[in-house]
Amino acid sequence: MSVLFLFIDGIGLGNKGNENPFYTNTYESFEILSNGNYFKKAPNYVTDKQLYKGIDANLGVEGLPQSGTGQTALFTGQNAAKEIGKHFGPFPHSGIKHFLKKDSIFNDVNQLGKEAYFMNAYPPIFFEHAQKRNRWSCTTLMTKSAGLPLNSTEEIKAGLALTAEIVQNAWREQLNIDIPKIGTREAANRVLNMLQIKDLVLYEYYLTDKAGHSKKEENAQRVLKPLDEFLLHLLKGMNSKDTLIISSDHGNLEDLSVKTHTRNEVPLFVYGQGANLFKDVNSILEVKNTLLDIL
């Protein structure tokens, strides 16, 4: 049994209104994963092999949730916002980096004697800037701290990683890096192949948060369409013994009427073995330990 953890940045549960791209458009994967009810106050859907519910991302702290504290909470099970008395982002605050260095899901998987893998790859310019400023994102800091590799061009060319926007356009068109364009099916197959040899595979999709900040419906569609196709290929290709877990760090894209994050609940989707173990999970703080229970 292996677990695929798909982190989708900045998606919450919104209203049935024109400001919500999940309502104005149909995304088949979200329909499947939510039993057709991806909106605020939808009923929980729980079976032995599938779960959908909204969970809290505010963590008892006033203000709008942010990526630095939200992702730290999701990936470590520690209330990072309460630790520093505020929501903070997009990068991790110095007062919470110790959580990512010592308490991350990657560290815990290592301690179980199992293997984790971070599927994202980063272009050379990312490493130049990050190392120069010593400023790492939550996912890259916890990956480095757990002694796991950070992928770059070589792994993309070898089919062992994915770029941030799944299909590899931006590296080619904006950074002039010589890599092939791929489709969402090939991208999903890369993940599924890695799932056969690793116990935990994590992939981060952050373009949803950027699209939410833009307040533009066309940007929402541009990032959700390939994500939807990618998810459908994953759902169709997963081994029946494996588990897919999807969650987020805060709301944003579900309400294009505002440029900021929201205090909406975020989704928790679980598809596969052990889905019912998550029925009592009520916040992003509880996802990590329940995932470890599956492993």
Q: Tell me the domains of the chain and their CATH numbers.
A: 3-294 (3.40.720.10)
What is the structure's pLDDT at 289?
Answer: 98
DSSP 195-244: HTT-SEEEEEE-HHHHHHHHT-HHHHHHHHHHHHHHHHHHHHH--TT-EE
Tens-place pLDDT, residues 171-200: 999 999 999 999 999 999 999 999 999 999
CA dist 198 and 26 (Å) reads 33
Tens-place pLDDT, residues 25-81: 999 999 999 999 999 999 999 999 999 999 999 999 999 999 999 999 999 999 999
Q: Confidence class of residue 249 from pLDDT cuts 50, 70 and 90?
A: very high
CA distances from 114 to 33, 60, 105, 107, 282 (A): 28, 33, 11, 10, 27
What is the structure's pLDDT at 76?
Answer: 98
Indicate if the alpha-carbon torsion angle 155, 188, 192, 231 is positive or negative. Answer: positive
Tens-place pLDDT, residues 116-145: 999 999 999 999 999 898 899 999 999 999
Is this structure's pTM higher than 0.95?
yes
For residues 263 and 132, the model is more confident at 263
